[in-house]
C-alpha cells in the first residue's frame, strides 16, 4: 500500500525522509514544585538552631520534557530531559548544568528499553520503591547519610547505556558508564544491575553498583562497590511494610578498605484517601570507617488537597553512638555538615505536580 507524506515536496528538497502516516508522537511537559520551611537544631559550630526555606521536602523540585514516537510494530523511540531547580530562589539545582537529572534518548519494545545519556543507576531505580521515605530530601539516608556523606552509591551516571526489561513479575535493569579516559578503558568506568520480582502485593529486589575512580600517576584507581537486598509488602489497600539492607565497600589506592552497612525499614498507612502517615528508621553500622554508628527515625504526614497538590509535615531525629572515650562523629538528619552527636529536623511544606 502506498503511503503519502503531507510535506513530500519539502522532504524532496531537504532530504528529510517521509514519515509513514501511522507514526504518532507526543511530547509532555511535567514537573514538581516542592517548597517548605525547615527547623534544625545543632545546625552551626556554636550549637545554634536554624530556620530556613528549602526547595524539596518530599520531592526534589524539577521540570522536564518526555517524548515518545510510535515507530510501528510495537517499537517506540523516546527521550527524557529533566532539570532540577531550587524552588525557593529559582536557581538551577546544579550550577552550570540545565538538565542535571536526566538527559537520555532510546528505543523500546516488548523486549525492554535501551537508552543512552545521563541516567539513573540501576541501584537508584530499584531502591526507590523500598525506601520508606521514597528518597525524600527531608528526610532519608539514601543515597548518603548524615554521618558519612561519602558512603553513597551513585544516583546517576553520565555517558551511560541502560537496559530495562519487564517480563511478567520480573524486572531487570543493567547500566554501564564509559569512563572516557584514554589512559585506561576501566578508569572512571561504572556498571550496575538490579533484579526485582513482584508477586501480587509482595516484592523483593537485589541491586549492585560498581564504580572505578580516575587513574592516578601510578596507574591505579579506587574501586567502590554497593549492593542491596530489600522487600516490600503491600498488605492491603492501606498498609505497606518495607525494609532492607545496603552494603558499601571502598578499596582506595592507598590505605585500608572502608566498609559500612545501612539497615532501613518502615511502614506507610493510608488512614483516608487524602491522608497518609509514614514511619521510617535507618541504622548505619560503620565497620572499618573512622566514624560513629548512627541511627535516624522519621515520621511524616501527607495530606492531599487534590490529585496534584498536597501539604506535608515531617519530623526526624538522628543520633550517633559514642566511642569508649566519650568522643563521637557528628550526625545530622540531612547530608549536610553536622555539629553534634544528635540533631532534630522539622519541616512543613507544600508540593504541586504538573
Name residue, grid cell 526526624.
Answer: 316
Burial of 124 (0-12, 13-18, 19+ CB in 10 A): buried
Counted domains in the chain: 1
| 112 in Cβ contact with 100 (< 8 Å) | no
Q: Is 227 inside any structural domain?
A: yes
In Å, the largest CA–CA distance within the chain is: 84
Q: Is 88 inside any structural domain?
A: yes
What CATH code is carried by the domain that includes residue 226? 2.40.160.10
| 120 in Cβ contact with 82 (< 8 Å) | no
Q: Is 71 inside any structural domain?
A: yes
Q: What share of the chain is helix, strand, coil (3-state, %, to 5)?
A: 5, 55, 40
Q: Can you give the pLDDT of all 354 residues of the chain as single tens digits? A: 444 443 444 344 334 444 454 568 999 999 999 999 999 999 988 889 999 999 999 999 999 999 999 999 999 999 999 999 999 999 999 999 999 999 999 999 999 999 999 999 999 999 999 999 999 999 999 877 665 555 677 899 999 999 999 999 999 999 999 998 888 889 999 999 999 999 989 999 999 999 999 999 888 999 999 999 999 999 999 999 999 999 999 899 887 888 889 999 999 999 999 999 999 999 999 877 667 899 999 999 999 999 999 999 999 999 998 776 777 888 889 877 778 899 999 999 999 999
The boundaries of the domain holding residue 325 are: 26-353
Q: Is 204 inside any structural domain?
A: yes
Q: Is 243 inside any structural domain?
A: yes
Q: How many CB atoms lie within 10 A of CB 295?
A: 19
Q: How far apart are CA 347 and CA 65, in angstroms?
A: 29
Q: How far apart are CA 141 and CA 298, in angstroms?
A: 11
Characterise 8 by phi-psi region: left (phi > 0), alpha (psi -120 to 50), beta (else): alpha
Name residue, grid cell 579506587.
Answer: 222
Cis peptide before 37 (omega within 30 of 0): no
| 323 in Cβ contact with 340 (< 8 Å) | no
Amino acid at each position: 500500500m502506498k503511503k503519502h507524506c503531507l510535506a513530500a515536496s519539502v522532504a524532496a528538497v531537504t532530504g528529510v525522509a517521509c514519515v509513514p502516516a501511522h507514526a504518532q508522537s507526543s511530547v509532555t511537559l511535567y514537573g514538581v514544585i516542592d517548597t517548605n520551611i525547615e527547623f534544625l537544631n545543632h545546625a552551626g559550630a556554636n550549637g545554634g538552631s536554624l530556620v530556613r526555606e528549602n526547595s524539596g521536602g518530599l520531592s526534589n523540585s524539577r521540570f522536564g520534557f518526555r517524548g515518545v514516537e510510535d515507530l510501528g510494530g510495537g517499537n517506540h523511540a523516546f527521550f527524557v530531559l529533566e532539570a532540577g531547580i531550587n524552588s525557593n530562589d529559582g536557581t538551577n539545582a546544579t550550577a552550570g548544568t540545565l538538565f542535571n537529572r536526566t538527559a537520555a534518548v532510546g528505543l523500546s519494545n516488548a523486549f525492554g528499553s535501551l537508552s543512552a545519556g545521563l541516567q539513573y543507576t540501576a541501584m537508584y531505580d530499584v531502591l526507590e520503591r523500598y525506601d520508606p521515605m521514597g528518597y525524600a530530601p527531608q528526610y532519608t539516608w539514601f543515597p548518603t547519610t548524615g554521618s558519612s556523606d561519602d558512603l553513597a552509591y551513585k544516583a546517576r551516571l553520565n555517558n551511560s547505556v541502560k537496559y530495562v526489561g519487564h517480563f511478567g513479575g520480573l524486572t531487570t535493569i543493567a547500566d554501564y558508564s564509559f569512563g572516557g579516559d584514554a589512559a585506561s578503558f576501566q578508569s572512571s568506568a561504572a556498571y550496575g544491575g538490579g533484579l526485582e520480582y513482584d508477586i501480587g502485593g509482595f516484592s523483593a529486589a537485589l541491586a549492585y553498583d560498581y564504580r572505578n575512580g580516575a587513574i592516578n600517576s601510578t596507574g591505579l584507581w579506587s574501586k567502590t562497590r554497593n549492593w542491596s537486598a530489600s522487600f516490600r509488602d503491600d498488605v492491603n489497600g492501606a498498609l505497606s511494610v518495607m525494609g532492607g539492607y545496603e552494603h558499601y565497600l571502598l578499596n582506595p589506592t592507598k590505605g585500608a578498605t572502608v566498609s559500612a552497612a545501612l539497615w532501613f525499614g518502615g511502614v506507610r498507612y493510608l488512614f483516608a484517601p487524602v491522608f497518609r502517615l509514614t514511619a521510617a528508621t535507618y541504622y548505619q553500622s560503620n565497620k572499618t570507617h573512622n566514624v560513629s554508628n548512627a541511627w535516624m527515625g522519621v515520621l511524616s504526614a501527607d495530606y492531599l488537597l487534590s490529585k496534584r497538590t498536597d501539604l506535608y509535615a515531617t519530623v526526624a531525629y538522628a543520633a550517633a553512638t559514642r566511642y569508649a572515650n566519650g568522643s563521637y562523629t557528628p550526625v545530622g538528619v540531612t547530608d549536610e555538615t553536622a555539629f553534634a552527636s544528635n540533631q532534630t529536623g522539622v519541616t512543613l511544606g507544600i508540593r504541586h505536580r504538573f
